[in-house]
Chains A and B, each alone.
Chain A
Amino acid sequence: MRPEVIAAERVKEVRDAARAWRRAGFINEATQSAILALYSDDRERFGPGLRALAFIFAGFGSLTLVGLSLVLFEPRTEVGAGLHLLFWAAVLFIGTEWQRGPARRADAGAEAATAWGSACCAIAGMVLLGASFDGSGYQQILLRIGLATFAVSGVLAWHWGDRVFHAGAVISGFWLLAQSANGRLAWMVAGAVLIPICLRVARDGGRAPSFRRGSWIVGAAGVLALYAAVHIGSFDQRWIEELNLSNAAPTSPFGFRSLAILATALLPPTLLMMGAWRREPLLLYSGLVLIGVSIATIRLYHAVMPLSLALILIGAFCLALALGVRRWLRDGPAGERHGFTADPLFDDANRTEVVRTAVSMASFTPTAQATPSRPAFEGGGGQFGGGGATGGY
């Protein structure tokens, strides 16, 4: 990634945080303005409306341009069509680089559309080129699509950091692993290795923010892959083996089914506990969701009670748990316990003691006195204006 793009992403993180603090009433207008002035953004960014329009029109324009080129030049061989698409992939790549570099565009819609267009053309071009060398069987085409998607998404995720390319790389990567002789074992190993690495990268300040967000996505995919690999239903139904194009019989080690039963029951609560211990939302949320999946699995294998009754009990348990956890956390000192709070931290609703303390303390702090008579920021060692908050809650 370009250093200036990484710097702009870091600035945006701070600017977004300042706006969130302002929305929640943590800081006043003057403080927000001072922070935004200190962390000034050199990128041209569109809001959601313009961004959506720019993405739609740039994507449509790029695709019709490629379509027009194909119609005009009519490449007659697969190699010709492949090279043609690779040429357009290069053109769109250069266009994206220009937008993100000299044109200083970010979150402007068009640069994302051309990036996606470049990736699609590159994948299609590589698949067509490959087809000219090793025939065009159905399985071969699928394998080439998987390989091309993994290669292109991986390179573009590394180069641009977009979340969609991280997702494309990790999904195609796991699909490729499923093609190996023991795909299930490969998923287990890859999932177990990816989770800690990605969690560490997601908190690494040395990495670009987009790369950190991408790592979070890869980590989430790792959790799902690990669970899918050890899930008893997945083992019995051969879900991962079904992804294998050659339909090779799984070589499951002796006693794996018993271990899968244990893992289906134990992995979700383990993730939940690790998430609570490390205060890691990814593990926490995935643990909660997977506990639900494991309960549904147990119900599928052992119908201990009618489905309707089971749903009513589960529903009542979820409601009681939600209300109980919320009350327990809110009853804690300053509305939190062990680093967890029940309230949305940077929202303008349902603020508890955490917010009240900060707001009231900040309002009575000498540094919080607003100084509207002078500019918020003074160069040459000057100070910011007030850091106080509104009392609007």
Chain B
Amino acid sequence: MVSPDVAVAVERLAQRGSLAPEQVRLFGRTARGELVSLSTAIHGLLYLGVAALTTGAGLLFRHEIANLGPITIALAVALAAALCLGWVARRAAPYSNTLVEAPHFAFDSFLVLGALLIAADLAFVEGQFVALGANWVYHLLLVSVGYAALAFRFDSRTLFGLALTSFAAWRGIAAARLERSIFGFFDESNLVRLNALGCGLLFLALGRFLRDRAIKAHFEPTAVHLGWLLVLQSIAWGLVDGRAAGPHRFALIAVGAGLAWFSWRGGRFVLFVFGVLAAYLGLLVTMADVVDNTNAILFLASASSIALVLGLAVIHRRFPDAEDLQ
């Protein structure tokens, strides 16, 4: 990024001997705009190319389905996916439990493209040949397992996130379709909520497991963030749920406050934000219900949020060197 201030600072640091001549040259050229990175443009072109290519192929298949036949199309997509994943496999470093640097700048793009093509091909086959029939929802589970396998083998956090969301989607749809017969006394919304809660807890446990066993420990934040989002969301769904609203509000305040407290102590600032927002939402809904007066609600909402801002300033002053504050 061009910055005249940095250019001046580099000269000053050079005079003080803080930077070596090669560093001065590089930093100075960048700050003066004499050396420009085209990395963003190249990555943008790459993503645009992949998007245009897949969209074009999709349109071609849709228009030519009558001429080519579904088997040809399914095989062609599978071939494209195999080419992508074959290239990835050829380039990939051996498996390791720790973080593995991508061997090529387009490595993750081709990996995700190959995985998405496989998923799309599976959906196409399901649509054309009705392979799983009424149990088509297991398609999502299959995709989730496939994504997870590729994510661990090739060290892709993008695919790991997709695997978790596909799993959660499978549970969400399965809850509405299959489990009603087993838990007949629940209504559909309760089932989905319970499944979201279960998925959230499962993801939290998975994150903990990965971190404790040092198996792709850098995947842990993905699992934990998604897990807490699902847990808090499943509780928040019950905030206006008739007789059960009270316990849900209390639970949201307690869980949110607990999450904020422990995540702050542990330096997990994203989770801290989740916790504070959840606890405040629970508190606000409870206040609005108890007070039942527009003026008082507005006053309490305003006063509480301003108090929270002041509280954040106090927290910042107590922990000025925390990582989030840099």
Separation of A56 and B277 alpha carbons in the complex (Å) = 9
| Binary A-proximity of B290-317 (CB < 8 A = 1, otherwise 0) | 0000110011011111101100110110
The residues in B between 2 and 39 inclusive whose CB is less than 8 angstroms from any CB of A are 2-9, 13, 16-23, 25-27, 29-31, 33-39
The residues in B between 32 and 67 inclusive whose CB is less than 8 angstroms from any CB of A are 33-46, 48-60, 63
The chain A residue sitting closest to B2, CB to CB, is A203
Residues of A with C-beta under 8 A to B325: 45-47, 50
A344 at the interface (CB under 8 A from B): yes
Separation of A108 and B317 alpha carbons in the complex (Å) = 12
Separation of A39 and B3 alpha carbons in the complex (Å) = 15
B187 at the interface (CB under 8 A from A): no
Separation of A310 and B52 alpha carbons in the complex (Å) = 9
B324 at the interface (CB under 8 A from A): yes
Contact, CB under 8 Å: B18 / A325: no
Which of B6, B34, B308 lies in contact with A53, CB distance below 8 A?
Answer: B308
Residues of A with C-beta under 8 A to B18: 31, 34-35, 38, 367, 383-385, 387
Contact, CB under 8 Å: A383 / B33: no
Separation of A342 and B38 alpha carbons in the complex (Å) = 5
| Shortest distance between the CB of A68 and any CB in chain B (Å) | 4
Contact, CB under 8 Å: B59 / A383: no
B148 at the interface (CB under 8 A from A): no
How many of chain B's residues have a CB under 8 angstroms from any CB in A?
Answer: 83
| Binary B-proximity of A6-41 (CB < 8 A = 1, otherwise 0) | 000010011001010100001100010011001100
How many of chain A's residues have a CB under 8 angstroms from any CB in B?
Answer: 96
B212 at the interface (CB under 8 A from A): no
B100 at the interface (CB under 8 A from A): no
Residues of B with C-beta under 8 A to A209: 3, 5
Contact, CB under 8 Å: B4 / A205: yes
The residues in B between 224 and 279 inclusive whose CB is less than 8 angstroms from any CB of A are 269-270, 272-273, 276-277
The chain B residue sitting closest to A63, CB to CB, is B302
A292 at the interface (CB under 8 A from B): yes
B105 at the interface (CB under 8 A from A): yes
Separation of A345 and B298 alpha carbons in the complex (Å) = 49
The residues in B between 136 and 190 inclusive whose CB is less than 8 angstroms from any CB of A are none
The residues in A between 333 and 379 inclusive whose CB is less than 8 angstroms from any CB of B are 336, 339-347, 349-350, 354, 357-358, 361-362, 365, 367-368
Chain B interface SS verdict (over half)? helix
Which of A68, A313, A316 lies in contact with B298, CB distance below 8 A?
Answer: A68
Which of B41, B56, B270 lies in contact with A284, CB distance below 8 A?
Answer: B41
Known: A17-B31, A46-B325. A68 touches B299 (CB 8 A): yes
Separation of A323 and B41 alpha carbons in the complex (Å) = 11
Contact, CB under 8 Å: B53 / A319: yes
Which of A13, A50, A336, A365 lies in contact with B6, CB distance below 8 A?
Answer: A13
Which of A52, A306, A314 lies in contact with B52, CB distance below 8 A?
Answer: A314
Contact, CB under 8 Å: A383 / B302: no
| Shortest distance between the CB of B62 and any CB in chain A (Å) | 8
A60 at the interface (CB under 8 A from B): yes
B323 at the interface (CB under 8 A from A): yes
Residues of A with C-beta under 8 A to B44: 288
Which of B38, B63, B272 lies in contact with A329, CB distance below 8 A?
Answer: B38
Separation of A41 and B5 alpha carbons in the complex (Å) = 15
Known: A58-B305, A61-B306. A319 touches B269 (CB 8 A): no
Residues of A with C-beta under 8 A to B36: 279, 281, 284, 339-341
Contact, CB under 8 Å: A46 / B26: no
Give me the interface of B with A, judged by CB distance under 8 Å.
Answer: 2-9, 13, 16-23, 25-27, 29-31, 33-46, 48-60, 63, 101-102, 105-106, 269-270, 272-273, 276-277, 280, 294-295, 298-299, 301-306, 308-309, 312-313, 315-316, 322-326
A-B contact pairs, 9 of them (CB 8 A): A35-B18, A45-B325, A58-B309, A60-B301, A61-B304, A203-B2, A315-B52, A361-B21, A361-B22
- Listed from nearest, the 10 A-B pairs whose CB atoms lie closest are A311-B56, A205-B4, A315-B53, A318-B49, A47-B324, A315-B52, A49-B269, A61-B305, A384-B18, A319-B49
Give me the interface of A with B, judged by CB distance under 8 Å.
Answer: 10, 13-14, 17, 19, 21, 26-27, 31, 34-35, 38-39, 44-50, 52-54, 56-58, 60-62, 64-65, 67-68, 71-72, 108, 110, 202-205, 209, 279-281, 284-285, 288, 292, 306-323, 325-326, 329, 336, 339-347, 349-350, 354, 357-358, 361-362, 365, 367-368, 383-385, 387-389
15 A-B pairs besides A308-B56, A358-B26 with CB distance below 8 A are: A13-B9, A38-B13, A47-B322, A48-B269, A50-B324, A60-B301, A279-B33, A279-B36, A288-B44, A314-B52, A344-B37, A345-B39, A349-B101, A349-B102, A357-B22
